[in-house]
Structure 1
Amino acid sequence: MPNPLPPLSAVRAFEAASRHLSFTKAGDELGMTQAAVSYQIKLLEERLGFQLFTRKARKIELTDHGAQLATRVVDAFSALRSAFEDISDMNAGQLVVSSNTTFAVNWLANRLFQFQMENPDVGVRILPYGPCAEPDFNDSDIVISACKAPPKGWIAHEIVQADFTPMLSPALAETIGGVKKPEDILKLPLVDPQDPWWQMWFEKAGLADVDLSGHPASRMGSQALEANRAIAGHGVAILTPYFCKTAIEAGQLIRPFELTCRADDESWYLSYPPALRTSRKVRLFRDWVNAELKCDGMPAHGIMAVVA
């Protein structure tokens, strides 16, 4: 069955010309020459088998068939414009952020109100992802991923480096008279003893090849969950100090040693696709996060463009 729809380029030219009653003005609107618009109208007339315009010396007029068609075509294009405007306005006013649980709970939850006060026209929707889930790189405007590089081609900002050190509740430390030496940690239950950060920290503390097999296995997979267990006194957790500032200041957690290790290839990244590089809502959120980090005294790590 033949397609009843003429070429869209010809329909667009007719719609613009019928509103302006001028091939020249229609061409200006569409970025075409007057001759190109006239050619498209001619193709459409040949396709339909009747004239759409009467050409006069200095103007054009719609024929009866042309006027009948123009009414419906102009309405159709108006509906299309409204649909695109509505979805654009909706998209511009909502920012979807897929965030690692730790960053969402220990950082965003305490600060997001301030961003929304500063930018009331941008509604933020947070999609936290848990230990066994993947960041939503497909349907999010911004992704904050932990120790997982963004997709190739994305624009990424390294916002927090993965530093770590043991932390525990003061009450748990007192059960053995205080944690004074790295060896003392081994007298207490550990949160996620299979976490490779433990071996890295003990080795740097001078305790190479520490055997943690005697500790009950667990894998929380999220610093937010691990910190909660440590605050409850259920064990010593290996955590990033920056994300535990509130708990430390409140006396819920202590870090018995200044020794802090760094996983060179692990960081928290704020990233977004290249198509959103100039997006206002993305720029506002990115700059706000960087400003908050700067206020906290965090070093600026710059931008990493992930190449294909």
Structure 2
Amino acid sequence: MSHQPSFAALRVFEAAARHENFTQAAGELGMTQAAVSYQVRLLEQQLGIRLFVRERGRVRLTPAAADLARTMTGALGSISAAVRRLYEADEQALVVSCSSTMAVKWLAPRLGRFQALRPDIDLRLDISDALSDFRGVDAALRTTAIPAEGLYALRLMAIHAVPMCSPELASRFAIGSPADLLATPLISRDDVWWEDWFANAGITLGSAPHGGIRLASQVAEGTAAMAGHGVAILTPELWAAELNSGQLVIPIDLPLDTGMSLWFVCPHERRSAPKLRAFAAWLSREAG
């Protein structure tokens, strides 16, 4: 034999051998009966042996073809099992990109509930403040006004901002009005949220003293605020535990609508994957 027979012909042969009927094999493979007959004749020519004895209403394997049929059935079964294992492994692993602040202050504390609900899903967090390109990542949580085009996006919650500080600092500076904050140390004073919050309160931030602590993340800002180092402008949805415990207080309850939201995003072609549907539905319930 000068070359290996085509896999297409071998696949048709296996189905015909298993059914002992060309018409039933054609139905399984989505082919016509004539196409099945053609592939079998082609394989017989390539192998130089007769594979079937035609009988009324059925075909019967020749003794020479029986071993090939058993081998093909086993081989195709192994291939199907390998593909199934690959699919199941992919469905079990869920990689989600998330910023450090959102991971630490919102997602991670809730993950136990998702694991209890779906112990079959192996959830892994890719914690990064950089935007994901979805290579090796299934989905992402992003805080933005409008998600990037080309992505499926589910809005989870609006992002608000409000001044927070330790109760001791609020008492020491006798903070009772927005104007009182001008005389207090503001953490990350150059944060645009401060400018917007003061503008919303009818105050120009330019009159506030310069200097103070500048930090790169809301986690660091909130930690500094709890330590009494100043007033930080934070997202209340992320600091509910600290507010409930009294580690942080809101001296001026005037929330700022930042115009941003928390979004669940993923490539459109993956949105129907069962693991992504399950995770998105759970996130939506958690966000309320």
Determine if the alignment matches structure 1 residue 146 to structure 2 residue 137: no
How many corresponding residue pairs?
Answer: 287
Pick the aligned partner of 2:196 from 190, 195, 200.
Answer: 200
After superposing the two structures, state which structure 1 stretch, 136-145 or 233-242, moved more. Answer: 136-145
Deviation of residue 83 (structure 1)?
Answer: 0.9
Deviation at 1:151, TM superposition (A): 4.4
In the alignment, what sits opposite 2:222? 227
1:185 corresponds to 2:184: no
TM-score, normalised with respect to structure 1 = 0.81
> 1:33-69 deviations in whole A, cap 9, x for unaligned?
2222222223333444444333333332334553343
- 1:73 aligned partner: 72
For 1:108, the equivalent position in structure 2 comes to 107
Residue by residue over 1:83-134, the C-alpha shift from the partner in whole angstroms, topping out at 9 and shown as x without a partner, is: 11112222233332222323322222222222222233333222222x3x22
Q: Secondary structure at the match of 1:291?
A: helix
- Tell me how far apart the structure 1 counterparts of residues 162 and 100 of structure 2 sit (CA, whole Å): 19
User: Which residue is 2:237 aligned to?
Assistant: 242
- CA distance change for structure 1 residues 152 and 67 in 2, over 3 Å: closer, same or farther? farther
Q: Distance in 2 between matches of 1:96 and 1:148?
A: 23
Distance of aligned partners of 1:219 and 1:212 in 2 relative to their CA distance in 1, 3 Å threshold: farther
1:165 aligns with 2:159: no
- Could you tell me which amino acid in structure 1 is paired with residue 200 of structure 2? K
Q: Percent identity?
A: 38
Aligned AA for 1:125?
R
Q: Cα–Cα, structure 1 residues 39 and 224, in superposed 2: closer, same or farther, change >3 Å?
A: farther
Task: Write out per-residue CA displacement over residues 171-223 of structure 1, whole angstroms, 9 at most, x where no aligned residue.
Answer: 233343x2223333333333322321111111112222526682246341x32
Which position in structure 2 is the counterpart of 1:306?
none
Which stretches of structure 1, 4 residues or longer, exceed 6 Å deviation after superposition? none
Whole-Å Cα distance in 1 between the matches of residues 3 and 112 of structure 2? 54
> Distance in 2 between the 1:147 and 1:231 partners?
26
CA gap of 1:72–1:216, structure 2 versus 1, over 3 A, is farther
Q: Does 1:124 align with 2:123?
A: yes
Shift of 1:18: 2.9
Larger radius of gyration between Structure 1 and Structure 2 = 2
CA distance in 2, matches of 1:194, 1:60: 82
Matched, 1:214 2:213: no
> SS of the counterpart of 1:110?
helix
Give the Cα–Cα distance (whole angstroms) in 1 for the partners of residues 42 and 207 of structure 2. Answer: 81
Opposite residue 258 of structure 1, the aligned amino acid is D
The amino acid of 2:156's aligned partner reads I
How many Å apart are 1:233 and its aligned residue?
A: 2.2
Secondary structure of the structure 1 residue equivalent to 2:204:
coil
Specify the code of the residue in structure 2 equivalent to 1:203. Answer: A
Partner of 2:160, secondary structure, is strand
Paired residues of 1:144 and 1:271 also in contact (CA < 8 A): yes
Using the alignment, how far apart are the partners of 1:213 and 1:43 within structure 2?
Answer: 88
Distance 1:219 1:10, change over 3 A: farther
Residue 262 (str. 1) matches residue 257 (str. 2): yes
> Given the alignment of the two structures, is residue 134 of structure 1 paired with residue 131 of structure 2, yes or no?
yes
For the residues of structure 2 that align with 1:213 and 1:5, how far apart are their CA atoms? Answer: 82
| Separation in structure 2 between the aligned mates of residue 15 and residue 252 of structure 1, nearest angstrom | 71
CA distance in 2, matches of 1:39, 1:219: 73
Question: Displacement of 1:270 after TM fit?
Answer: 0.9
SS in 2 for 1:191: coil
RMSD: 2.7
Asked whether the 8 Å contact 1:135–1:145 carries over to 2, the reply is: no
Structure 1 unaligned spans of 5+:
295-308
Distance 1:23 1:251, change over 3 A: same
